[in-house]
Amino acid sequence: MPYSAEISRANPSVFMFLIDQSGSMVEPIAGSENKRKCDSVADAINRLLHNLIIKCARGDGVRNFYEVCVIGYGATVAPAFSGPLAGRDLVPLSEVASSPARIEERIRKVDDGSGGVIEQKVKFPIWFEPVAKGITPMGTALNMACKILREWVQRHMASYPPIVINISDGEATDSGPVPQAQELTSLATEDGNVLLLNCHISSQPVQPIIFPESDADLPDEFAKTLFSISSVLPASMRELARAEGFNLGPEARGFAFNADLVELIRFLDIGTRGSNLR
Amino acid sequence: MVPIVTAFRLPKQGYSLDECDDAFAYEVNCLRFAIADGATESAFSDRWAQSLVKAYITEPPFGMPPAEDAMMLWMLPLQHEWRQSIDWASLPWYCQEKAENGAFATFLALEFSAHGTVWEKIVSRTLQGEELKWNAFAVGDSNLFQVREDQLIATFPVARSDEFSSRPILLASNENHNYSALRDIKSASGGVKPGDQFFLATDALAKWFLERHEAGEKPWQQLLALKSEEEFAALSERLRKQEGVRNDDMTLVVIRWEG
């Protein structure tokens, strides 16, 4: 199980996001008075999809190195793309790129090259809207992920295994998430088991914790539970994370507490990338 | 002495030659050779790599190795040309954003010349019997090897197989991304004797070359035996399947100095 399969058009992989859309996601995120957790998560998912598309874009379009799925769990458990992709589960990346719900223009502050800052208009595509309603059926969401991916891994045995990223503020209100997560991560291609990464977004003003090796410093039971179901990062991923400046040990898990989601997976890399290529 | 040159270029397995981001160019009359490896993760890097090697053959930058400023000046028209070659208006948002960041490529240039000064000529000819001098400069990890009498006598700029990383320094078509690359121009030089062989190789092949040499083998013998594109393709496939060589674009230029 080396986690070394090349991700290519012939052997694509999967990014699946499971997003907590429960009522508690209207609470502000730690360290921010007015930014709701659900807004912060929606922004992060849209940026993640954006980054993934740019990463896989070439001059002639987006290469289908990945299929992408977003599942929301709250009042319902269902695929959560909005716009033309509404209701779809696994979508090839090139189709994600060409089918956002809408494209907003936002202002980005960038370095002008001589010490100043200039404002630049950037396109900000939206695929996913903030929702905060209902309970936290995390177990059911993991079950749905398992159902979708069971079939996928059977069809893609030579591929790099799917990476599932679960983003939640904590406590499952169904029987989850431990047995469902175990079932999900028992799925495997010839290259390795499905990887489950968990991001815990908390209202508690606790310093971010990224890729810990134990649950000793985690502040509550919910965080400890999410840590317990997070995959140990494979060696290849640890190396990439180290190259990005993360400090992590051999048993580091795919778990983050109050961390910036985009930062968290920016190291998931494909192919040659220059050290001055940003 | 005359050089006999063979050159090969191959895309990643599963890709077409159109999608190969490697480039080479050489001109036997002026004895200049160059290879470039376009970063797979940038847009239109194939054109950028092609443009760099072609420009070096027709009109190289001033100086050997060129200074930071000379390199910057030399690349300006190439960068302009690269931007002009893109039909920006017809690109979808994601290709536009990708291309705005620019294309990136490694670059390795090699030039042979008669020894420069009278003193150099006297010393080198009498002491070493070397008739020509080679000069090379590089940005990134495309590599040069010199073999004499079946022994590896020079390797540049990467000396050990474990020095290859997936994040080399690259020359960018967007001048704002070139500051670190220009500070990192590396150079080397040496003498040439009849019978010497030179190999220019992009990273995946160069890494294999060094690994085999470190294991006490003579990988150049396999490369010298190559007679055709088909043989190069067969060798590459074997290296990828059996020797764990990364599935990457591969370029090889072999220069043999016959006495």
| Residue of chain B nearest A60, judged by CA positions | B95
**B95 with A59: Cβ contact below 8 A:** yes
Lowest mean pLDDT among A27-31, A177-181, A273-277: A273-277
Instruction: Identify whether the C-beta of residue A276 lies closer than 8 Å to the C-beta of residue B170.
Output: yes
Cα–Cα distance list, B59 to A66, A125, A155, B233 (Å): 42, 43, 52, 32
Whether the link from the prior residue into B65 is cis, omega within 30° of 0, is yes
Q: Which amino acid is at B16?
A: S
Distance from CA of B144 to the nearest CA of A (A): 20
Instruction: Identify whether the C-beta of residue B49 lies closer than 8 Å to the C-beta of residue B34.
Output: no
Section B82-95 average pLDDT: 92
Interface test with B, best of A237, A272, A273, A278 (most B CBs within 10 A): A272
Chain A from 14 to 53: CB within 8 A of any B CB: 53
What is the helix (H) or strand (E) element at residue A78, kind and residue range? Answer: strand A77-79
Q: How many Å apart are CA A208 and CA A258, to the nearest integer?
A: 5
**Strand locations in chain B, DSSP E?**
2-10, 22-27, 32-38, 104-114, 132-139, 143-148, 151-156, 171-172, 186-192, 197-201, 250-258
- B127 pLDDT higher than 90: no
**B97 with A54: Cβ contact below 8 A:** yes
Tell me the chain A residues in contact with residue B86 when contact means C-beta distances shorter than 8 Å: 59
Whether the link from the prior residue into A177 is cis, omega within 30° of 0, is yes
Strand partners, A51: none
- Say if residue B7 is exposed, middle or buried (CB neighbours under 10 Å; 0-12, 13-18, 19+): middle
**B176 with A113: Cβ contact below 8 A:** yes
A250 interface with B at CB cutoff 8 Å: no
**A61 with B172: Cβ contact below 8 A:** no
- Tell whether the torsion through CA atoms of B133, B70, B8 and A270 is positive or negative: positive
User: Nearest by CB to B94, which of A97, A269, A275?
Assistant: A97
Burial A188-211 (b: 16+ CB within 10 A, else e): ebebbbbbbbbbbbbbeebeebbb
- The pLDDT assigned to A237 comes to 83
**Higher-pLDDT residue of B84, A30:** B84
Helical axes B45-58 vs B68-84, angle rounded to 10°: 130
User: Nearest by CB to A277, which of B39, B99, B203?
Assistant: B39
Q: Which amino acid is at B101?
A: N
Give tens-digit pLDDT for A138-172. 999 999 999 999 999 999 999 999 999 999 887 77
A106 interface with B at CB cutoff 8 Å: no
Section B128-141 average pLDDT: 86
Give tens-digit pLDDT for A45-85. 898 898 889 888 888 889 999 999 999 998 889 999 999 99
What is the helix (H) or strand (E) element at residue B82, kind and residue range? Answer: helix B68-84
Only one residue has tokens 């431990």, namely A178
Tell me the chain B residues in contact with residue A60 when contact means C-beta distances shorter than 8 Å: 95
Neighbouring C-alpha atoms within 13 Å toward the C-beta of A197: 23
Q: Considering chain A, what is the average pLDDT of its residues?
A: 86
User: Which of A225, A260, A245 has the alpha carbon at shortest distance from A48?
Assistant: A260
At residue B89, the 3 state secondary structure works out as helix
Count other Cβ atoms within 10 Å, centred on residue A140: 21
pLDDT range class, residue A191, cuts 50, 70, 90: very high
Tell me the chain A residues in contact with residue B176 when contact means C-beta distances shorter than 8 Å: 113
Distance from CA of A141 to the nearest CA of B (A): 30
At residue B252, the 3 state secondary structure works out as strand
- The pLDDT assigned to B150 comes to 96
Section B136-160 average pLDDT: 96
- The pLDDT assigned to A244 comes to 77
- A123 pLDDT higher than 80: yes
Tell me the chain B residues in contact with residue A55 when contact means C-beta distances shorter than 8 Å: 41
User: Which of B34, B181, B158, B33 has the alpha carbon at shortest distance from B102?
Assistant: B181
Tell me the chain B residues in contact with residue A276 when contact means C-beta distances shorter than 8 Å: 104, 169-170, 172, 177-181
A4 interface with B at CB cutoff 8 Å: no
Q: Please, what is the Cα angle at A38 between A133 and A51, to 5 degrees?
A: 135
**A274 with B169: Cβ contact below 8 A:** yes
User: Which of A57, A40, A64, A53 has the alpha carbon at shortest distance from A128?
Assistant: A40
- A267 pLDDT higher than 80: no
Q: Is B63 left (phi over 0), alpha (psi -120 to 50) or beta?
A: left
Give 3-state DSSP helix, strand, coil % of chain A, rounded to 5: 30, 25, 45
Neighbouring C-alpha atoms within 13 Å toward the C-beta of B35: 25
Strand partners, A163: A15, A195
Distance of alpha carbon A38 from its chain centroid, rounded? 14
Tell me the chain B residues in contact with residue A274 when contact means C-beta distances shorter than 8 Å: 39, 42, 104, 140, 167-170, 172
A121 interface with B at CB cutoff 8 Å: no
Give tens-digit pLDDT for A103-115. 988 887 777 767 7
Tell me the chain B residues in contact with residue A275 when contact means C-beta distances shorter than 8 Å: 167-170, 180
Instruction: Identify whether the C-beta of residue B203 lies closer than 8 Å to the C-beta of residue B248.
Output: yes
User: Nearest by CB to B93, which of A10, A125, A269?
Assistant: A125
Interface predicted TM-score of the whole assembly (ipTM), two decimals: 0.79
**B176 with A123: Cβ contact below 8 A:** no
